[in-house]
Amino acid sequence: MSSYSVTEPSARQKWFAGILVVLYSVITLLPLLWIIATGFKSPADAISYPPKLVFQPTMEGYVNLFTTRTRVPEDQLKALGEPTTWYDKLVRKDGLIITGASRFAERFYNSVIIGFGSTVLCIVLGTTAAYAFSRFKVPLKDDLLFFILSTRMMPPIAVAIPIFLMFRSLGLSDTHAGMILLYTAVNLSLSVWLLKGFIDEIPIEYEEAALIDGYTRFQAFYKVVLPQAVTGIASTAIFCLIFAWNEYAFAVLLTSGNAQTAPPFIPTIIGVSGQDWPAVAAGATIFLVPVMVFTILLRKHLLRGITFGAVRK
């Protein structure tokens, strides 16, 4: 023991706290693990009672997620001969054949395009605005910053009607460009606030040195400030991406087919009788995995991101 401290918890306290937190984590994790497990169950296993913990894993849910299938008569099935691929084999045992691709891949692609598109735009606009707010005397600075934050208070449905009308007359409704612009506007408040915090922490002396060396302001910005702000920019980008990735209200209200992302699609996956839970779970799992990976990468900046930088860790 180096030094005695009254604030250091005793070993018993630590042990007790650890047990409780682990208990809570397990409860929290259960629904998530259930989603992932259900994706690998057969439809019968998914809806068996009592819920099955041990089951024969199958890729049926994933095959059903990506394909459309139809039932064909016995003789026609025989005429097709033996199934040649593993996914044909999975589907064939129920007397079904694969007739085409489902729209999941398309929706997932839309999520990627709109998510990344809006994130890039958000970072470009956010970084420049944050730099200006951080370094220059912008007139009405505090009011503008509050205005930017307040755009986050608007319920999406409250502005959906005029945006719907506006996009229709501009030819932006149900397009990738329209949704990218919309999601950029939604996430811009987060991006500006968060990046301003990160840029505030970069000492201004670096730029002053660069200016004295004959750089222009512009060069100082992208040659000196940007490289310093890379970690902040990366974590802001991931936050913008996650929010755009998970957004549902605008996607369901303002898009119908062409530019609809995955969140409105996954709940609509229907099987023979009601929802095809293994396929829904497979879709959810594919959709969750990137977010989970990002969360683990982000854990250091988590707090700042969700609170607009209002709380510093």
Partner 1 sequence: MLHSPIDRIAGATPPAIAARVKGLSDRAIAWLFVAPSIVLLLAINIFPLIWTIRLSFTNFRVNRPNEPIRFVGLRNYINILTDGDVWRSMQATAHFLIWTIILQVLIGFFLAYLINKKFRGNDLWTTIIVLPMMLSPAVVGNFWTFLYQPQIGLFNYVIAFLTGNDPSSFSMIASTTLAPWAIVIVDTWMWTPFVMLICLAGLRSIPSSIYEAAECDRASKWRQFWTITIPMVLPFLMLAVLFRGIENFKMFDLVVQLTGGGPGSITELTSINLKRAAFEQWRTGYASAYAVILFVTVFGLASIYVKALNRVKQR
Q: Contact between 120 and partner 1 (CB under 8 A)? A: no
Q: Contact between 204 and partner 1 (CB under 8 A)? A: no
Stretch 168-187 residues interacting with partner 1 (CB under 8 A): 181-182, 184-185
Q: Contact between 226 and partner 1 (CB under 8 A)? A: no
Q: How far is the CB of 99 from partner 1 (least distance, A)?
A: 25
Residues 157, 204, 230, 270: which binds partner 1 (CB under 8 A)? 157
Q: How far is the CB of 97 from partner 1 (least distance, A)?
A: 28
Name the 3-class secondary structure at 300.
coil
Using CB under 8 A, which of the segments 24-32, 66-74, 78-86, 224-232 binds partner 1?
Answer: 24-32
Q: Give the chain's end-to-end CA distance (angstroms, integer).
A: 28
Question: Residue 237: which of 227, 225, 245 has the closest Cα?
Answer: 245
Question: How many angstroms separate the CA atoms of 167 and 311, rounded?
Answer: 36
Q: Contact between 5 and partner 1 (CB under 8 A)? A: yes
CB-CB neighbours of 168 under 10 Å: 13
Q: Contact between 153 and partner 1 (CB under 8 A)? A: yes
To 10 degrees, the CA torsion angle through 259, 261, 262, 266?
-70
Residue 259, token pair as written in the block: 């530019």
CB-CB neighbours of 64 under 10 Å: 26
Stretch 260-299 residues interacting with partner 1 (CB under 8 A): 263-264, 266-267, 275, 277, 280-281, 283-284, 287-288, 291-292, 294-296, 299
Stretch 39-68 residues interacting with partner 1 (CB under 8 A): 46-51
